[in-house]
Homo-oligomer: A and B are copies of this chain.
Amino acid sequence: MSGSLERFSINQMTVKQLSLPELADGCARLGIRNVGLWREPVQAHGLEATAKLVRDAGLTVTTLCRGGFFTAVDPRERAAALADNRRAIDEAAALGTDTLVLVSGGLPAGSKDLYGARERIADALSELGPYAERHGVRLAIEPLHPMYAADRCVVSTLAQALDLAERFPAHQVGVTVDTYHIWWDDTAPAQIARAGAGGRIHTFQLADWTTPLPEGVLTGRGQIGDGSIDMREWQDHVEAAGYTGAIEVELFNDVLWARDGQEVLAETARRFTEHTR
């Protein structure tokens, strides 16, 4: 059994070699209805111009990536991060998406205090949650694979993400379920059920796990079907938990980025239909 493209969303980073107009053209040609966008290329194209482009193309923006980076200790850095996240919320609202993905941030230089860093994330969320709500945007804490705990994201599991999110209303703060980050975790299915019961699965993303990992481990997210992750298994988990939203494919992969973007877009759509229900 294969999935249709109806729920497929192409995260812009998967085909970052494409400009936004090229991406919109490719989506129109392939029948792709949904895109996940990133702040930097949107800003480069212009926020209003991007909003008009996707509107005219009939595309739904499923998520904006990304806010976060809340773990600084320095008060000025913290204030700057909060201000930047308010801008990210504004941008999400302008693009018509209801979901801003958050990558929470790693340990400050020299720090070994994971617990303190996680508390500073909670502090930031308490300021941003109400702001996001007023703009019709939900914050989606993304637990990143534990290999990023030091330098990128001290939130490493769905359980940790939910421990943070549940301090706030679900329409303010939920989680991102991304197969790449959680596939190894035998407690993740129960945490997906917990997230679903609370209405906190704000987005569901796919990437496959391939080895060997590249230096720095950032650009090794594998094409769907190339690696160790059973995508249907995770789709079943989120759907059993009540998730009916878009399924975004977000790959960072040097090999894919070196290829023709339209070809990668078509391949990704095909792999999606082959590996989902």
Taking Cβ atoms with an 8 Å cutoff, the residues of A that contact B are: 107, 111-115, 145-147, 149-151, 154, 156-157, 159-160, 183-187, 209, 211-217, 227-230, 233
Name A's interface SS.
loop
Q: List 15 contacting pairs A-B, 8 Å CB cutoff, sorted by A.
A: A107-B228, A111-B228, A112-B230, A114-B186, A146-B185, A150-B228, A151-B211, A151-B212, A157-B185, A157-B186, A212-B216, A213-B217, A214-B215, A215-B215, A217-B217
Chain B contacts for A217, CB-based, 8 A: 147, 212-213, 217
CA distance A197 to B63 in the complex (A): 46
Chain B contacts for A209, CB-based, 8 A: 149-150
CB distance from A136 to the nearest CB of B (A): 32
Chain B contacts for A214, CB-based, 8 A: 215
CB distance from A86 to the nearest CB of B (A): 29
The number of times this chain is found in the oligomer is 2
| CB pair A213 B216 closer than 8 Å | yes
CA distance A146 to B229 in the complex (A): 13
Chain B contacts for A113, CB-based, 8 A: 230
Which residue of B has the minimal Cβ distance to A118?
A: B186
CB distance from A234 to the nearest CB of B (A): 11
| CB pair A114 B156 closer than 8 Å | no
> Which residue, of A145, A146, A214, A227, has the highest number of chain B Cβ atoms within 10 A?
A146
CB distance from A124 to the nearest CB of B (A): 19
> Which residue, of A115, A147, A157, A159, has the highest number of chain B Cβ atoms within 10 A?
A147
CA distance A168 to B244 in the complex (A): 43
